[in-house]
Amino acid sequence: MLTLGETNAYQRRNDLDALRTFAMLLGIVLHAGLSFANVPWVVQDIQRNDVFSILFAAIHGFRMPLFFVMSGFFTAMLWKNFGLKKLVKHRIRRILVPLLLGLITVIPLQNWIIGLALEKSFKNKREIGATSNTESNIWIDAKLGNLNGIDRHLTKGVDINALDRRLGITPLCLASSSGEIEAVQFMIQKNAEVNRKNSDGGTPLHCAAIFGRIQLVDLLVKNGADVNVRTNEGLTAIDAAQLDMRTTLFVAGILDIELDGQKIKENKQRTIEMLEKQGSKLTKGRPIQKGGQIKKKSDNLWVGLMYTPVLHHLWFLWHLTWLLSFFVLMILVVQWLPSLKYPEWLMSLSGWYLLLVPLTMIFQSFMGSGGKVSSFGPDLSAGILPIPHVLGFYALFFGFGIIYHVCDGFDRQISKGWWITLLIGLFVIFPFGLATTFQLDGNSKINSFLSVLFQATYTWMMIFGLMGMFRKFFSKTSKNIRYLSDASYWLYLMHLPLIILSQIIIQEWEFPATLKFLLICTVITAFLLLIYQNLVRYSWLGALLNGRRNLKSNPKID
């Protein structure tokens, strides 16, 4: 994955090297746009646009699967050309060691910067609210239950149903979240809309339900709240009430709301029972939880190790370590039992790769809590233990990369009609995938099946299309591409803390979202390239990431 183009003759697969670089740099684009998208992220910019939500889905749907295909290909190449021992030594030095270094440097820095983001968000909400004009304090007053303050802002002409520009939430929703019954009653009397949606599609009923505000749930329902209205992710109020405590506490932290954990758990169960009686329906058949307690993932040690996100964006290095271990074990078994061979007859069949879509659908069907939450693309697995269906998902792409290395002639098949593949994938399959994934009406089973089908098809069409395009245009040696290939690993390892910090700095700038997005991408990339060239490339760190370099020559990679 890291120095990907070696062979015995030191000939590089320039096209795949360039494609691996493209996948790495797309990670910077993806993360830079998150603060402008209507998706959960630690920094919520005042300028947001659904274009960035679509951009996120489009990139997330294929980028990491593509990267694991490349990793599988070059793992097989290194093993074939250098043997198992050198492969293991190479991968430990280029994958496991950088991961361990990142855990004591990059990850703590990122956690500290995330803390700054949350602290700034809390401070802004306490002091000035969401904007700098006359609307600024209505959300704070609503959250604090300050009726005089709310009335004062309404007298000045503030829209009681306006969305906070940072959180995308109504004053009524904030009051419902914090349990301010009198404030909710007052605002309803002042024509606050009980079914007014936030930017995430949630309503005041969702806000009350997630925190187990029983009296407010009852009050909102009696005033016409729709118990089955769904968020952008397809969650009803009863789904919100069933969210685990870790998620509940995270949302409370974003809103700066203090909770009594034990009381909230008890109230959540009562809220579920109340909403069930009111006819609230669960998303896609999720079972009602009984027994007076809401089960949380951290109650189980193994599940806690899977779902506690300690690795952040370095998770892929840990997954590669697991997959390399499986690969080594497989090779050892084959060497011990030489009669075992891969099915060459299957690889010789025309169109064998069409099996990839149904195989991918198996793992894709487990994403989004098994279809209970609408999400496009693979789940994140950043815990100490990889989530099984996520590891299996990437193992499929890693395995395809290995098969791709041994299949002569497959390059020619991929090269044919690559541009048609890309066009259909981006402009036909992807839109249908989004529509079926976030479809809120109709037959949920049909939508679920179509969503999984379109997502799996989109992923492979983008992979094959991009492989064909890069084989067409990037097969020749290029010093610039080679340099970016070396630098991209450093850029990806270091980019996320700096991106979050830059998002914090420009969060309240009154500039268009596109301009701020381009500024983040340009400045962070240029800064990290400057550091790479002057401090990393010819240092011990550069040797660790990309092999030895010196200022006078560029020797062959060890």
We report the CATH number of the domain holding residue 144 as 1.25.40.20
Largest CA distance in the chain: 84
- The pLDDT of residue 352: 65
- The pLDDT of residue 292: 36
Q: Do 379 and 467 have their domain in common?
A: yes
Domain end, chosen from 283, 299, 315, is at 299
- Say yes or no to pLDDT of 444 above 90: no
SS3 content of the chain, % helix, strand, coil (to 5): 65, 0, 35
Q: What is the Cα–Cα distance from 58 to 41, expressed in whole angstroms? A: 17
Average pLDDT, the chain: 83
Q: What is the mean pLDDT of residues 490-512?
A: 94
Q: Do 365 and 512 have their domain in common?
A: yes
Tell me whether residue 468 is exposed, middle or buried, using C-beta atoms within 10 angstroms of its C-beta: 0 to 12, 13 to 18, 19 or more: buried
Q: Is residue 551 part of a domain?
A: no
pLDDT per residue as tens digits for the range 34-75: 999 977 788 888 888 889 999 999 999 999 999 999 999 999
547 pLDDT band, cuts 50/70/90, is: confident
- The pLDDT of residue 10: 44
Alpha helices in 378-429 (DSSP H): 388-406, 410-415, 418-424
Cβ-count burial 97-117 (b if 16+ within 10 Å, e if not): ebbeebbeebbebbeebbeeb
pLDDT per residue as tens digits for the range 287-336: 444 433 434 444 446 666 777 778 999 999 999 999 999 999 988 988 88
- The pLDDT of residue 291: 37
Return the amino acid letter for 287: P
Q: What is the mean pLDDT of residues 521-534?
A: 96
- The pLDDT of residue 6: 38
Q: Is residue 224 part of a domain?
A: yes
Q: Do 187 and 228 have their domain in common?
A: yes
* This prediction's pTM: 0.76
Q: Is residue 429 part of a domain?
A: yes
Q: Is residue 459 part of a domain?
A: yes
Q: Do 414 and 334 have their domain in common?
A: yes
Q: Do 140 and 274 have their domain in common?
A: yes
Domain end, chosen from 299, 318, 333, is at 299
> What are the Cα distances from residue 174, in Å, to 130, 275, 350, 507?
12, 20, 59, 21
- Say yes or no to pLDDT of 442 above 50: no
Q: Do 463 and 362 have their domain in common?
A: yes
CB contact set of 294 (below 8 Å; sequence gap of 6+) = 242, 244, 245, 265, 268, 269
> What are the Cα distances from residue 344, in Å, to 401, 409, 471, 530?
16, 13, 25, 48
Q: Is residue 106 part of a domain?
A: yes
Q: Do 153 and 275 have their domain in common?
A: yes
Q: Do 311 and 265 have their domain in common?
A: no
Domain end, chosen from 260, 280, 299, is at 299
**Contacts within 8 Å (CB) and 24+ apart, 497-502:** 497/106, 497/109, 497/110, 497/113, 498/524, 498/527, 498/528, 499/28, 499/31, 499/32, 499/524, 500/42, 500/43, 500/110, 500/113, 500/114, 500/117, 501/113, 501/116
- The pLDDT of residue 109: 95
Q: Do 293 and 311 have their domain in common?
A: no
Residue 354 belongs to domain spanning:
14-115+307-546
Rank 82-86, 423-427, 540-544 by mean pLDDT and report only the highest: 423-427
Q: What is the Cα–Cα distance from 21 to 237, expressed in whole angstroms? A: 43
Q: Do 140 and 109 have their domain in common?
A: no
Higher pLDDT, 145 or 369: 145
Q: What is the Cα–Cα distance from 285 to 72, expressed in whole angstroms? A: 37
Domain count, the chain: 2
Which residue, among 130, 113, 52, 43, has the nearest Cα to 517 in the 3D structure? 52
Structure token pair of residue 258: 């203090």
Terminal-residue alpha carbon distance, the chain: 14
Q: Is residue 6 part of a domain?
A: no
- The pLDDT of residue 122: 57
Q: Do 247 and 284 have their domain in common?
A: yes
135 pLDDT band, cuts 50/70/90, is: very low
416 pLDDT band, cuts 50/70/90, is: confident
Q: Is residue 391 part of a domain?
A: yes
Q: Is residue 7 part of a domain?
A: no
- The pLDDT of residue 303: 61
- The pLDDT of residue 268: 83
Q: What is the mean pLDDT of residues 409-434?
A: 87
CA angle 164, 222, 267 (to 5 degrees): 75
Of all residues in the chain, the percent with pLDDT exceeding 90 is: 45
Q: Do 377 and 495 have their domain in common?
A: yes
